[in-house]
A = this chain, B = another copy of it.
Amino acid sequence: SRSIRLAVIPGDGIGPEVVAQGLKVLGSVLPSDVKLETREYDLGARRWHATGETLPDAELASLKQHDAILLGAIGDPTVPSGVLERGLLLKLRFAFDHYVNLRPSKLFPHTVSPLAGRPEIDFVVVREGTEGPYTGNGGSLRTGTPAEVATEVSVNTAYGVERVVRDAYERAQARPRRKLTLVHKNNVLVHAGHLWRRVFDRVGREYPEVTTDYLHVDAATIFFVTQPERFDVIVTDNLFGDILTDLAAAVTGGIGLAASGNINPTGAFPSMFEPVHGSAPDIAGTGKADPTATVLSVALLLRHLGYEAEAARVETAVAEDITGRGSVVRTTDQVGDALVSRVLASVQTG
């Protein structure tokens, strides 16, 4: 019999609320012969305030013993900016070598987009997850004085760029439009940018069926709002990917729908799935959080673990739920229940 050992990090703010719904949907869609074992980890602001710890080694070792991780959201205004992000969230991405940060963007029918004219949007950003300006390289000198100097170093390697670029080509090759766009800023960041471009062009020769394109990151933001339909698969650096995927979420109906997977495609470490949104402390506890992004992240998790049919059922349930949304405001729990109902209905008719 099959099993999934799932580590759960509910985290801060609305994290626990949306994760609860994600787990509900996961439980409802899994075949009855699959045993789901979950283990919850108390990590985030509360833990840091209580013990000063962000991610102790023992916890990291224990997390590693899982097939996947589901994470809600990390961050709280009571914790200095960067402490939990660097000490927990990014530490996980780096420790588990999540070099593919996968972020699909799709404008569902009936979703309200801030864009006039409702373009067709269906692309996926493959964001590099272990290099670039996120490495934590840099420092500050004479901190707090008028003579302070602070640096941030973007580190890029042929090894790191090639593996994510190759992953992106594979994904582009598997999609109907077969188009891959590299986004960087190689007219200014010439060292990193030229490395990316050279690797992109070289690996591209192995994928003659994939049409390629290059855009500077500033120009890319323009096309995200004026011509998002031009994108199919986008591959980009860690920081540009961070910026572009929030923008992508905005134009496809909001950060409440944006899912992500921090993936280690080799399987050497557990991959981690999380909504793109943050912990939204302002609405925590109000029942206003939309769990859809977490549920869509669960779909990515299912696909990653080989449960393709189940992933598709969750995505269909979400698409139907969004299409059927009226003007009635529902709580986090009610959205979760509605999704569970649709998932269960799909097995009866399917």
A interface with B by C-beta (< 8 Å): 75, 81-82, 85-86, 90, 113-117, 133-134, 137-140, 143-159, 162, 185-195, 197-198, 217-219, 221-222, 224-226, 239, 242-247, 249-251, 254-255
What's the Cα separation between A191 and B138 when bound, in Å?
A: 7
What's the Cα separation between A308 and B242 when bound, in Å?
A: 40
Q: List 10 A-B contacts (CB under 8 A).
A: A82-B190, A82-B193, A139-B191, A143-B195, A149-B158, A151-B192, A153-B154, A185-B242, A217-B243, A226-B250
B151 touches A154 (CB 8 A): yes
B residues in contact with A139, CB < 8 Å = 191
The smallest C-beta distance from A198 to any residue of chain B, in angstroms, reads: 7
What's the Cα separation between A158 and B191 when bound, in Å?
A: 26
What's the Cα separation between A218 and B245 when bound, in Å?
A: 8
B residues in contact with A244, CB < 8 Å = 221
The smallest C-beta distance from A78 to any residue of chain B, in angstroms, reads: 14
B residues in contact with A217, CB < 8 Å = 242-243
B218 touches A133 (CB 8 A): no
Given contacts A151-B154, A185-B239, 18 further A-B contacts (CB under 8 A): A81-B186, A81-B190, A86-B190, A114-B115, A114-B116, A115-B115, A115-B116, A138-B153, A140-B194, A151-B153, A151-B191, A152-B156, A188-B239, A188-B242, A218-B247, A221-B243, A221-B247, A226-B254
B151 touches A156 (CB 8 A): yes
What's the Cα separation between A155 and B152 when bound, in Å?
A: 7
Chain B residue nearest to A241 (CB atoms) is B218
Question: With A138-B192, A155-B149, A247-B247 known to touch, is A187 a contact of B222 (CB < 8 Å)?
Answer: no
What's the Cα separation between A192 and B197 when bound, in Å?
A: 27
Q: Which 9 A-B pairs have the closest CB atoms?
A: A218-B246, A148-B158, A82-B190, A221-B247, A116-B116, A150-B191, A152-B154, A222-B250, A85-B187
B195 touches A140 (CB 8 A): yes
B75 touches A133 (CB 8 A): no
B82 touches A194 (CB 8 A): yes
Chain B residue nearest to A246 (CB atoms) is B218
What's the Cα separation between A168 and B190 when bound, in Å?
A: 29
CB contact between A154 and one of B85, B133, B193 (< 8 Å): that residue: B133
What's the Cα separation between A102 and B174 when bound, in Å?
A: 44
> Looking at A75, A117, A144, A225, which has the most chain B CB atoms within 10 Å of its CB?
A225
> Looking at A85, A189, A195, which has the most chain B CB atoms within 10 Å of its CB?
A189
What's the Cα separation between A153 and B153 when bound, in Å?
A: 4
